[in-house]
A and B are shown apart, each in its own frame.
Chain A
Amino acid sequence: MSEDKNRYGQTTGHVWDETLAELTNPPPKWWMLGLHASWILVVLYTLYYPSWPLVSSHFKGFAGWTAIGEFEKDMKEVQDVRAKYEDQLPKKTAAAILADNELKNYVVRSAKVLFGDNCAACHGSGGAGNPGFPALVDDDWLYGGSIDAIQQTITGGRHGMMPKMGGNQLSDAEIDKLANAIVGGTIAKEPLFAAKGCIGCHGPDGKGMAALGSANLTDKIWRFKSKDQLASVKYTITHGVNDPSDPKTRNAEMPSWKGRLTDTQIKKLAVYVHELGGGQ
Chain B
Amino acid sequence: MSESAASSEEQKAKYSDDIYEEAANWHVNTGEEKIYPKKASGKWRRLKWITHSIWLILFIGPFLRWNGHQAILFDIPGRQFHIFGLTILPQDVWMLSLVLLFFAMLLAAVTSVAGRVYCGFFCFQTAWTDLFIWLEDKIEGVPAKRRKLDAGPWTGEKIRKKALKYFIWVLISVLTGISFVSWFTDARQLWHDIFTGQASSTAYGVIALFTAGTLVLAGKLREQACFWLCPYARIQGVMYDKETILPTYDYHRGEPRGRLKKGQLVEGNGDCIDCKQCIAVCPTGIDIRMGQQEGCITCSLCMDACDAVMDKIGRPKGLIRYASMDEMEGKTQLPLFKRPRVLIYLTILTLAISGIIYGITHLGAIEVKVLHGRSPLFVQRSDGTIQNKYNVKILNKTANDIPIKITAEGIKGMLIKGTEETVIAKKGNTGSYIVFINAPAENIKSERTPIIFKIVNQDDPTQTSSYESMFFAPK
Contact = CB atoms under 8 A, between A and B. Distances in A.
B389 interface: yes
B55 interface: no
A56 B384 CA distance: 71
B381 A124 contact: no
A219 B379 CA distance: 14
A138 B388 CA distance: 10
A227 interface: no
Given A125-B375, A126-B374, A126-B375, A216 B382 contact: yes
Contacts of A23: none
Nearest to B375: A126
B382 A221 contact: yes
Contacts of B387: 137-139, 277
Interface string A101-143: 0000000100000000000000011111000000101111000
A4 interface: no
Nearest to A141: B382
A135 B379 contact: yes
Contacts of A148: none
A221 B383 CA distance: 9
Given A138-B387, A277-B387, A277-B436, A126 B373 contact: yes
A275 interface: yes
Contacts of A139: 381-383, 387
A277 B418 CA distance: 10
A221 B381 CA distance: 7
Contacts of A137: 376, 379, 387, 389
A138 B436 CA distance: 11
B98 to A, nearest CB: 35
A220 B373 contact: no
Contact of A128 (B376, B381, B382, B436): B376
A1 to B, nearest CB: 29
A61 interface: no
B375 A221 contact: no
A213 interface: no
A221 B380 contact: yes
B434 interface: yes
A126 B381 contact: no
Given A137-B376, A137-B379, A220 B436 contact: no
A219 B383 contact: yes
Contacts of B379: 128, 135, 137-138, 277-278
Contacts of B383: 139, 219-220
Interface string A195-236: 000000000000000000000100111000000000000000
Nearest to B432: A105
Nearest to A136: B379
Contacts of B382: 138-140, 216, 219-221
B389 A277 contact: yes
Interface of B: 373-376, 379-384, 387, 389, 434, 436
Given A108-B434, A126-B373, 14 more contacts: A126-B374, A127-B376, A128-B379, A135-B376, A137-B376, A138-B380, A139-B382, A219-B383, A220-B382, A220-B384, A221-B382, A277-B379, A277-B387, A278-B379
List 3 A-B pairs, minimum CB-CB distance, nearest first: A126-B375, A128-B376, A219-B382
